[in-house]
Amino acid sequence: MNARQILLELFDAALRAVDGRALVSAHLRNAKVQAPVDVFAIGKAASAMARGARDALGPAIREILVITKDGHVDPELSRHECVTTLECAHPVPDERSLAAGAELARRITNLPATVDPLFLISGGSSSLVELPAEGVTLADLRALNARGLAAGWDIATLNAERTRLSRLKGGGIARMLGARSASALFISDVPGDDPDLIGSGLLGSDGAASDRIRRSVIANIDAAIRVAQEAASAYGLDLATSFTHFGGDASEVANEFLAALRASDADGLIWGGESTVRLPERHGSGGRNTHLALSVARLLGAAEPLLILAAGTDGTDGPTSDAGAIVDAGTVARAELAGVDVERAWRQFDSGPALEAAEDLVHTGPTGTNVGDILIGLKQTATPMGDHRASRVL
């Protein structure tokens, strides 16, 4: 097995460690959940988390509402009459996001007193479901999201601004529930795993003494990193880890990671976190992970024996359907051989087509989780250009 295949195996191990279906099922089998139950699953991992609830609770569930990103609905859910699925826009909300917010609010308001509500929240929820504050329009919400994403705001700044315009975010569901008991399980994609930040705080506390929501974080990036490190050991590799999550500009993270990888005495590094990009008014196609990966590729020396994976654990990278990429010292040469101006692609944030030309993109499809992004670097002989294969996770 070559180094590229090992990287894909490590990424797959990390994803399995934080699988939404398995973790929700395991948690609920050990929890005291009273029937009947209504399930509200929101986020990129909503389908997987809803299936985990079905696995554990079965006939105890009365209704399930799944609100998730376009293309992230598990077809298996359509077999169950109790399930309603709503596909919405990400990363910028649209009319469907408002319709989903209205439906969510209607169901919470009309919950019978005998039904126990269970909320399953994962990252990506912010644009999928919304109820604007008084006087706020969809255009206002879209403009805010577009401005924050383009400016590279960190998650705390973006969530604070979103909350200001919303009746759902910043503890909105807790306010709707009042003194009613509820359970909430979270897959965290934010530093510190704070429920007040996950999904812009849909199930965060509003600070009221009447809050009776039982909150549990069941997955985060640290769990994914630990399992990837253990999987590396099975290949005889000693990978150093950092549980200080990376953040900030993707190009700067690329520089920091590559410098740390070069300086490390270990066989490689694993980092977790979430970078940002500042997009110009006119830009190409790609996401923060492909931009980070292309930034690394530009810095690698000729024949430097390093291989780096940069990918999103949700299986998508910003507005693209790629999870990320694996790059090596031959990436730039392969892209240029295919006719790509790599420097132009990097400057204009057009990393997706450049890395596609180099056959370096990683595709997973929806993964059933979302704990942020992962960087794995190996000190191995880079795959020769002649033996290069497009990267896939099957």
Domain ranges of the chain: 3-15+222-392, 20-219
Return the CATH superfamily for domain 20-219. Answer: Glycerate kinase, MOFRL-like N-terminal domain (3.40.50.10180)
What type of residue is 70? D
Q: Residue 394: what pLDDT?
A: 29
Report the distance separating Cα 162 and Cα 92, nearest Å: 12
CA distances in angstroms from 198 to 110, 122, 220, 234, listed in the order given: 25, 7, 11, 33
- Mean pLDDT for 16-42 is 95
CATH hierarchy code of domain 3-15+222-392: 3.40.1480.10
Q: Is the pLDDT of residue 383 over 70?
A: no
The C-alpha angle 145, 223, 295, rounded to 5 degrees, equals 55
Q: Which of 23-37, 136-150, 283-297, 322-336 has the lowest mean pLDDT?
A: 136-150
Q: State the average pLDDT for the chain.
A: 92
Q: Is the pLDDT of residue 54 over 90?
A: yes
Q: Residue 390: what pLDDT?
A: 40
Q: Residue 35: what pLDDT?
A: 86
Name the most confidently modeled range: 31-45, 160-174, 251-265: 251-265
Q: How many CB atoms lie within 10 A of CB 192?
A: 12
Q: Which pair of structure tokens corresponds to residue 272?
A: 């977790």
Kindly indicate the confidence band of residue 91, based on its pLDDT and cuts at 50, 70 and 90.
confident
Q: Is the pLDDT of residue 135 over 50?
A: yes
Question: pTM, whole model, 2 decimals?
Answer: 0.92
Q: Is the pLDDT of residue 389 over 80?
A: no
Render the burial of 2-37: b for 16+ CB within 10 Å, e for the rest.
Answer: ebbebbbbbbbbbbebbbbbbbbbebbeeeebeeeb
Kindly indicate the confidence band of residue 393, based on its pLDDT and cuts at 50, 70 and 90.
very low
Strand order in the sheet with 37-42: 83-88, 61-69, 37-42, 116-122, 181-187, 212-219
Q: Residue 208: what pLDDT?
A: 66
Q: Residue 392: what pLDDT?
A: 38
Query: Given this chain, do its domains 3-15+222-392 and 20-219 carry the same CATH topology?
Result: no
